[in-house]
Structure formats: structure tokens, C-alpha cells
């Protein structure tokens, strides 16, 4: 007769953390250890770790026929996370630990050969999934994953350092041996950013970045090298409005899936700046067990793409979907994984291959043909989705020589925060997320503004999509000015923010 123990765990598929049941059978016969449901390449390592951890914990590894079944079979399963439930299942089935309370918990954790619990990725996604499924189960997982898993309100998280600690918890001889519940709530550590006060000149660009930060609009900066595009972008994150609890939780869950979670970064909007040589999967996500890419790690924060035309054109075109939907679907063989990717795109590029078109000081030798070809590496449909497109000119030498005297980031950030709060109070979302129907309602224009916009639409051949984007940006400019209505100068400013490229 076979003896059975069943424990609960979870596998990761994108942001989903579906329930997995770990069933351990012991039967008499020749000693054997079989794991069903893991990829073949992972089975041997999992068996080695579990066997060593059990023996090094001072338990007996049963000399019986052991069969472990991970169900359902069709989920992508990475072996490490199931070490803990497999080991506990073997100990319970062989009566070395009591099994009566095991069903009250979910388990995850990779074991070292000596029985220590090593961190797993996606602990926060697991804890969120348990809450979503209406589960009241407690969670036993590695110490290093406790902070992230406990971010979910009311989650019952019991971190453990070793397999032995978990066994003592279930042996239940003394309360002193029980694991204690992890309840620490994170503190927001203020983050230091470089300051806009250090940037000389560039008043127009700073203003455009303020508008972008306030309404969550995407930006393309076009200008020669050395004009401070990167310097401006690196200061941009310091302007962004604070994150809501839900935004922070979503952002943390993605970091956790990538194994990047740091409690000290709680409520810091991510700023990701991948290099243009990054591979497609690194940028958009991928892998045999799909993992989030840079665009997802930038969720609820900033994705900064410097030297935009140097990125693989196919990869740039993939950005169009998440820029509309805030999500990305990764398909790999028969599997699909869905990740959030609601990022604010800040991009920078030179105006031409040599970089010096319009510089004034240095002569550009690019022909109009070469220039057009360079700029058209950014496809029209992608460009169409970038709300603010501005030129960044070289700073005149007299301004460079004078001391910097611009506004500090703190002063600008205060205006951004006020404008962002106004948007949330009025419509429950930032202006960037207004639907066409909501634009009709919240972005009404007076007669003069209407004709200004109509005129610009015609002379610049703007699409309907550009029309909506200009109105959203104009709404943000009015919000910074605390103006209930969009006035003509708000609209004209928004129109100015869409005139950087030849291809426009």
C-alpha cells in the first residue's frame, strides 16, 4: 500500500501564480526516487538537493519507492521552488514529521545541500495570487522573500531559514519552536536624484519634461551630442509624482518576478535605461520560462531609450502594443505569458547620423536624404505614439560660462504633484490615460483654440491619434496652471511640443 502526502505550492506563468499540488507517494519495493512534472534537465538537481537536505537535517531518507507528482502537468515549473514541499512531503509520508497541519499552508523554497532555504523569484506574485484566489492559507517561504510577500495586506507569511526550522514548526512540541509571522511594513526611503538646478539653460526642455511628468506623457528629445539630453533624462525621475499603494505593489511584483526586488526601493518609480545593443528578449521579455524584460521592469516608471534609432527596428515596433495597452504578451513555443508594461517612454536621439544638424558651432555634412533615412528608422506609427517631441539645442557659451540658476527639482516636482493630484481627483487617472470619449468631456476647446488646432493639423498632416495626444498634453498644461478650462496659450504650447523631426 502506498502512503501519501499532499502539499500546496505555486508555479509562475507571467504574473499568474497558479496552484500546484505536490503529491508524494511512498511504496515498498526497490529504493527509487522519481519526480514527475518537472523538465528532465531539472529533475536530477532537484533530487540531489532534496536528498542531501533531508540527510543533513538529521532525518532518514526513506529506502523505499518514492514518487513525487507535481500537478497539473502542463504548467511551466522551475524546479528550485518545489524543493521545500517535496522534502516536507517525503518527511510527512515517512512519518518523520506530523502531517496534520500541512494542509493549512502553501510552501515554496529552494534547498541548499545543507538544508538552508534559498530565495525564489516571484514570491510577491504568489502571495498576491493566494489573496486573489480567496485563500486563507498561510505561506512558508525563505527568509529572503519575507518582505516582498508580506507587502500584501493581511498575508500570513511565515519565513524560515532552514528545512529544520520548518520541521520544528510542524513538530509542535513547544511554542518556542514555531515560526513567527512576518508583519514588517516597508518604510519609504527618500531617493536621491541629480537636480535640475545643475542644468544650465534648456528652459524650454525642462518645461516640456515638467509637463510630461505631470501628465505621464512620453517624450522624444532630438538634439546634437553634448546638449545634455542624458543629463536631463536622468533628472526626470526626480520629478515624478508619488506612487499609490496599488502602483507600488504592481511594480514590486514585477521586480520580484525578475528576482530584483529590494525593500529599500518601495514606492520608488523605476528608471530603466537599457543600452541599444540589448537583445529583444532582454527588452521586451522572454526565455523558456518567460521572464519580464526592461519594458516590464519599467512598469509604473520610466523607460529611457538613448540613441533611439540605434535600437533594433523590430524591437521598437514591438513597443507600440504596450504603449497602447500597458501590457505585453510573450509567446514562446506553446506558452504565453502576460506581463504589465505601463512605462513612460523618454527617448533621445541625434538629429542626423553625424549628430550636428542644427548645432550652429559644428557643421553637419549629412545630406537631406541621409538625414531622412536616419530619422525614418523610427517608424511613423511609433512616432505617432510619442506625445511630446522636442528639439534640444546646444547651450550658448555665455550661458554655459555663467553660474546655473534654474529651478530646483523639488520646486518643479511640487507643481507636478499638484497637477497630478488634480487629475486623479477630477477623473481618477492621469491625462495620458484619457480615452477619446473622456477627451471630449475633459478637454473642451474654445472657438479660437479649435481653429488653431485645425490649422496645425492641416499644415503638419497630423493623424487623429496625434490630435488626441495634443489635447491630453494641453489638458496637463492647463492643470499645471490650475486652469479649469484649456486656454489658447495652453493649446499652442502643446502644439509646439510636436515639431522636432523631418518625418513629422
Please state the closest distance from residue 368 (CB atom) to Zn ion, in A. Answer: 10
The site map against Zn ion for 309-348 (x = CB under 5 A) is ----------------------------------------
- Give me the DSSP letters along 54-99: HHHTT----SSEEEEEEESTTS---SGGGHHHHHHHHHHHTTSS--
Is residue 364 involved in binding Zn ion (CB under 5 A)?
A: yes
444 prior amide bond cis, ω within 30:
no
Cβ closer to Zn ion: 366 or 394?
366
C-alpha cell at 386: 510619442
Is residue 374 involved in binding Zn ion (CB under 5 A)?
A: no
Asked if 347 and 232 touch (Cβ cutoff 8 Å), the reply is no
Is residue 33 involved in binding Zn ion (CB under 5 A)?
A: no
Is residue 222 involved in binding Zn ion (CB under 5 A)?
A: no
- Segment near Zn ion (CB under 5 A); pick from 48-56, 326-334, 354-362, 377-385: 354-362
Q: Which residues pair with 457 in a beta bridge?
A: none
Asked if 63 and 44 touch (Cβ cutoff 8 Å), the reply is no
Please state the closest distance from residue 352 (CB atom) to Zn ion, in A. Answer: 3
Cβ closer to Zn ion: 354 or 386?
354
Cβ closer to Zn ion: 105 or 356?
356
Please state the closest distance from residue 354 (CB atom) to Zn ion, in A. Answer: 3
Among 237, 257, 366, 413, binds Zn ion (CB under 5 A): 366
Is residue 354 involved in binding Zn ion (CB under 5 A)?
A: yes
Cβ closer to Zn ion: 27 or 364?
364
Cα–Cα separations (whole angstroms), residue 87 to 39, 101, 107, 161, 425: 18, 16, 11, 15, 52
Cβ closer to Zn ion: 139 or 357?
357
Is residue 164 involved in binding Zn ion (CB under 5 A)?
A: no
- Segment near Zn ion (CB under 5 A); pick from 28-36, 76-84, 191-199, 356-364: 356-364
Please state the closest distance from residue 359 (CB atom) to Zn ion, in A. Answer: 9
Does residue 147 sit in helix, strand or coil?
A: helix
Among 147, 160, 375, which residue's Cα sits nearest to residue 266? Answer: 147
Cβ closer to Zn ion: 149 or 352?
352
Binding-site size, Zn ion (CB under 5 A): 5
Is residue 352 involved in binding Zn ion (CB under 5 A)?
A: yes
Among 357, 374, 442, 497, binds Zn ion (CB under 5 A): 357
Please state the closest distance from residue 361 (CB atom) to Zn ion, in A. Answer: 13
Please state the closest distance from residue 370 (CB atom) to Zn ion, in A. Answer: 8
Backbone angles phi, psi at 308, to 5 degrees: -50, -45
In what helix (H) or strand (E) does residue 331 lie, and over which residues does it extend?
strand 327-332
How far apart, in whole angstroms, are the C-alpha atoms of residue 100 and residue 381?
60
Backbone angles phi, psi at 242, to 5 degrees: -65, 155
Cβ closer to Zn ion: 354 or 445?
354
Among 161, 154, 114, which residue's Cα sits nearest to residue 140? Answer: 161
Does residue 366 sit in helix, strand or coil?
A: coil
Please state the closest distance from residue 366 (CB atom) to Zn ion, in A. Answer: 3
Half-sphere exposure at residue 494, Cβ-oriented, CA atoms within 13 angstroms? 33
C-alpha cell at 431: 491625462
The residues of the shown chain that bind Zn ion, judged by CB under 5 A, are 352, 354, 357, 364, 366
Amino acid at each position: 500500500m502506498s502512503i501519501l502526502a499532499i502539499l500546496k505550492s505555486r508555479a509562475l506563468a507571467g504574473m499568474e501564480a497558479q496552484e500546484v499540488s505536490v503529491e508524494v507517494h511512498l511504496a515498498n519495493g526497490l529504493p527509487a526516487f522519481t519526480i514527475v512534472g518537472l523538465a528532465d534537465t531539472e529533475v536530477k538537481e532537484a533530487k540531489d538537493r532534496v536528498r542531501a537536505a533531508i540527510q543533513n537535517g538529521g532525518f532518514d531518507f526513506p529506502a523505499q519507492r518514492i514518487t513525487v507528482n507535481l500537478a497539473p502537468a502542463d504548467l511551466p515549473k522551475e524546479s528550485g521552488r518545489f524543493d521545500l514541499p517535496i522534502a516536507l512531503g517525503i518527511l510527512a509520508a515517512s512519518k518523520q514529521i506530523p502531517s496534520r497541519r500541512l494542509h493549512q499552508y502553501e510552501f515554496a523554497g529552494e534547498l541548499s545541500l545543507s538544508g538552508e532555504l534559498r530565495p525564489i523569484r516571484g514570491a510577491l506574485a504568489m502571495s498576491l495570487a493566494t489573496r486573489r484566489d480567496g485563500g486563507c492559507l498561510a505561506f512558508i517561504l525563505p527568509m529572503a522573500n519575507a518582505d516582498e510577500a508580506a507587502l500584501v495586506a493581511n498575508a500570513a507569511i511565515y519565513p524560515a531559514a532552514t528545512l529544520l526550522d520548518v520541521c520544528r514548526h510542524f513538530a509542535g512540541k513547544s511554542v518556542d519552536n514555531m515560526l513567527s509571522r512576518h508583519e514588517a511594513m516597508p518604510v519609504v526611503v527618500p531617493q536621491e536624484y541629480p537636480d535640475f538646478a545643475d542644468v544650465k539653460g534648456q528652459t524650454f526642455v525642462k518645461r516640456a519634461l515638467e509637463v510630461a511628468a505631470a501628465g505621464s506623457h512620453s517624450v522624444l528629445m532630438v538634439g546634437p551630442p553634448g546638449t545634455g539630453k542624458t543629463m536631463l533624462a536622468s533628472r526626470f525621475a526626480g520629478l515624478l509624482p508619488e506612487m499609490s499603494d496599488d502602483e507600488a505593489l504592481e511594480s514590486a511584483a514585477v521586480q520580484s518576478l525578475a528576482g530584483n526586488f529590494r525593500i529599500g526601493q518601495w514606492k520608488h518609480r523605476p528608471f530603466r535605461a537599457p543600452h541599444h545593443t540589448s537583445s529583444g528578449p532582454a527588452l521586451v521579455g522572454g526565455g523558456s520560462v518567460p521572464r519580464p524584460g526592461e519594458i516590464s521592469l519599467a512598469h509604473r516608471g520610466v523607460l529611457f531609450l538613448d540613441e533611439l534609432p540605434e535600437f533594433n527596428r523590430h524591437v521598437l515596433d514591438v513597443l507600440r502594443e504596450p504603449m497602447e495597452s500597458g501590457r505585453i504578451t510573450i509567446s514562446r513555443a506553446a506558452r504565453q505569458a502576460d506581463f504589465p508594461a505601463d512605462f513612460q517612454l523618454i527617448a533621445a536621439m541625434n538629429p542626423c547620423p553625424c549628430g550636428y544638424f542644427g548645432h550652429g558651432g559644428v557643421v553637419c555634412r549629412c545630406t537631406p536624404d541621409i538625414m531622412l533615412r536616419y530619422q525614418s528608422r523610427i517608424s511613423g506609427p511609433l512616432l505617432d505614439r510619442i506625445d511630446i517631441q522636442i528639439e534640444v539645442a546646444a547651450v550658448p557659451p555665455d550661458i554655459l560660462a555663467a553660474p546655473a540658476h534654474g529651478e530646483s527639482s523639488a520646486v518643479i516636482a511640487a507643481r507636478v504633484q499638484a497637477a497630478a493630484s488634480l487629475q486623479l481627483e477630477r477623473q481618477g487617472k492621469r491625462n495620458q490615460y484619457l480615452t477619446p470619449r473622456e477627451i471630449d468631456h475633459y478637454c473642451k476647446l474654445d472657438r479660437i483654440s479649435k481653429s488653431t488646432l485645425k490649422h496645425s493639423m492641416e499644415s503638419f498632416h497630423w493623424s487623429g491619434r496625434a490630435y488626441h495626444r495634443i489635447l491630453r498634453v494641453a489638458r496637463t498644461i492647463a492643470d499645471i496652471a490650475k486652469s479649469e478650462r484649456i486656454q489658447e496659450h495652453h493649446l499652442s504650447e502643446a502644439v509646439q511640443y510636436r515639431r522636432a523631426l523631418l518625418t513629422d
